[in-house]
Amino acid sequence: MQLIAENTTIPIPKIHAYALSDDTRPLSSFLILQYIEGRKVSHGELKRLSDEQRTNLYTSLADVYIQIRRLEFPTIGCLSQGLSGFEVCKRLVTIDLNMQELEGLAPHYIQNRYCGGSTTLTSANEYITMLLEIADNAFARDRSPISQEEAEDRLYHLYIFR
């Protein structure tokens, strides 16, 4: 967050507490942020915006994405602040990965195959392929009951980018 605050104009909340760990146990890494008042914008609300309001919203979102995209690093993983500045030095941690770990779906086995002896990824293609395999893992190993219609929808979305 400090990296974004120092290198962009994107407004970000303050960090109250955090922990980073190489431990594979669920929730061994966490981040507690300042609460910021707001609300989700639904598709219906977007449709009700005037053309000018919608343009302003999309322009603001594009500006955020552009600024984040300009922050480039040599590998893919978690950023850490070291003595020489920010560096990618830890394995990727996402909400989806944590949720799969909590559900006992063991996505770390997939990560291990892609990262090998390293803790980071060096190829965008490897990263995307790994994410697709982790999505397949969630579908194949999830024990939650779903309807046939929902299963068809999930299968469609699993293969849309392949």
pLDDT digits (tens, 9 = 90+) for 2-45: 899 999 999 899 989 988 777 777 777 888 999 988 888 888 99
Render the burial of 71-84: b for 16+ CB within 10 Å, e for the rest.
Answer: eeeeebbbbeeeee
- Angle between the N-to-C axes of helices 148-159 and 124-141, in degrees from 0 to 180, rounded to the nearest 10: 170
Compute the distance between CA of residue 67 and CA of residue 54 in angstroms, rounded to an integer. 20
Cβ distance 109 to 139 under 8 Å?
no
Cβ distance 158 to 139 under 8 Å?
yes
Compute the distance between CA of residue 106 and CA of residue 127 in angstroms, rounded to an integer. 17
- Each residue's pLDDT tens digit, 61-117: 999 999 999 998 888 988 888 888 888 888 888 888 888 999 899 998 998 888 877
